[in-house]
Structure 1
Amino acid sequence: MRFVFIGSGTLAVLTGRMLVERGHEVVIVERDPETIERLRDELDVGFIHGDGTRPAILREADPENTDLLFCLTHDDQSNIIASLVARSLGYRRVVTKIEDPDLEHICSELGLADSLVPMHTVGRYLADMAEGQDIIAISDILRGDTRIFSFKVDEASATALEKLSIPDVARAICIYRNGEELKFADPQMRLHVGDEVVLLTRARSLKALRQRFG
């Protein structure tokens, strides 16, 4: 798979390095040439020098052959603008990082469904820990080649879960409705357009699931 990152902060570099180690192609768009030169010695990735909010730069990053675009600069407005431009250019999926929680509903109204608020995630984790809840990282639960796969329900898939013809290599474990409402998987549950179905599977089955559900 091919992934493009706008920005080269800590989160982008960490994620990019992990994806390269897993055999994926990674491209980083960065406007500072000195940062690019420094990172060339650290990362086996491609680089594009330029402003990731500009249509010409995003076209150069090749939307047609990119599976996912991460907008991870330190500026919320730049991430939102880059995401909107990328969507207009045909990128399949865009992740938008925002630091200001007040902008989360703006992203939702703009149709940027995959918005990422790092401080929300960390804050929720710390609050749970402060209350003495038994917190187990999902990476500690998934052993060996066990993986999580999720997909959004479209009009063609809006049927009962049991009629979805999920391959035998996977099992539905839960459904998220309206972004956050958790529903445990029930074979007779009627799926709605926009629901996110979460499957438990194996790493070797991910390709088949992507071909089936996109």
Structure 2
Amino acid sequence: MKIVFIGASSLAIATAELLLQGDHEIIIIEKDKAVIDELIEKIDCVFMHGNGSKPAILKETDPDSIDVVFCLTKSDEANIIASLVARSLGIQRVITRIEDVEFEHICIELGLNDTIIPTLNNARYLANIAAGRNILELSAIIRGNVRLFSFIADETCEEPVGDLDLPKHSRVIFLYRDNVFQPTDEETKLKQGDEVVLVTTTDEYEQLHEKWSNGKAM
């Protein structure tokens, strides 16, 4: 695969190093020349000096050949803009890093479905460790073609979970209402703004995404 990183953050470099083990083509775009000079001898990939939020810079990477773009700068705003630019150039898979959770719904509304919040995820993990809980890694239980999908309910979804027109192998498993976990059953009535989480399959994921365009993989 051809993978482009916008921003040479520590997360970007660590991810790039892992991907290079699989012989993928890696391009890192970084606007700080000093950072490039420091890294160029340490990691065997292509570096480009420039602002990855600028369409002209990203066009130099031949967007039609790119499989994935990771927007991993230290600025949420820059990552969102760079993601939108990448999407406008026809790149289908764009991963957007944000730190401020208030941007999450904005990303969903903009169609940036692959949004990650590393600090929040790490904080939850550390809090569980501190509490002495034995956390089962999600990767250990999500196997084969099983996937998780979530969407934000709008006014058209204010109905019981059991009335949702879901594909055969897809099920609602819980929701977040005002960021509070809430289990669901067939009678649970959705409200506008609920983040609804489903378990589904790879094949049915696309059907769900077509139905709820603000949805995202989890």
> What TM-score, normalized by structure 1, do the two folds share?
0.64
The letter of the residue matching 2:136 is I
Aligned in 2, Cα 1:146/1:6: closer, same or farther, shift over 3 Å?
same
The equivalent residue for 2:129 is 129
Q: How does 1:109-188 map to 2 (within 5 A)?
A: 111-112=106-107, 116-178=116-178, 180-188=179-187
1:81 aligns with 2:86: no
Count of aligned pairs = 198
Aligned in 2, Cα 1:194/1:132: closer, same or farther, shift over 3 Å?
same
**Equivalent-residue separation in structure 2 for 1:207 and 1:19 (angstroms):** 26
| Equivalent pair of 2:71/2:83 in contact (CA under 8 Å) | no
Shift of 1:191: 1.8
Aligned in 2, Cα 1:81/1:154: closer, same or farther, shift over 3 Å?
same
Shift of 1:134: 2.0
1:52 aligns with 2:55: no
Shift of 1:27: 7.1
| Equivalent pair of 2:176/2:195 in contact (CA under 8 Å) | yes
Aligned in 2, Cα 1:213/1:142: closer, same or farther, shift over 3 Å?
same
SS of equivalent to 2:186: coil
Percentage identity across paired residues of the two chains:
33
| Equivalent pair of 2:172/2:197 in contact (CA under 8 Å) | yes
**Equivalent-residue separation in structure 2 for 1:184 and 1:95 (angstroms):** 28
Structure 2: runs of 5 or more not aligned: 214-218
The equivalent residue for 1:97 is 98
Q: How does 1:20-31 map to 2 (within 5 A)?
A: 29-31=29-31
The equivalent residue for 1:189 is 188
The letter of the residue matching 1:194 is G
Shift of 1:19: 8.8
**Equivalent-residue separation in structure 2 for 1:61 and 1:84 (angstroms):** 17
| Equivalent pair of 2:54/2:85 in contact (CA under 8 Å) | no
Shift of 1:167: 0.9
Shift of 1:61: 7.8
| Equivalent pair of 2:71/2:82 in contact (CA under 8 Å) | no
SS of equivalent to 1:123: helix
The letter of the residue matching 2:45 is R
- Match for residue 40 of structure 1 among 15, 27, 45: 45
Higher relative CO (Cα under 8 Å, sequence separation at least 6) belongs to: 2
The letter of the residue matching 2:54 is R
CA-based RMSD: 4.4
**Equivalent-residue separation in structure 2 for 1:19 and 1:161 (angstroms):** 40
Aligned in 2, Cα 1:185/1:90: closer, same or farther, shift over 3 Å?
same
The equivalent residue for 1:44 is none
> What TM-score, normalized by structure 2, do the two folds share?
0.63
| Equivalent pair of 1:5/1:71 in contact (CA under 8 Å) | yes
The letter of the residue matching 1:50 is G
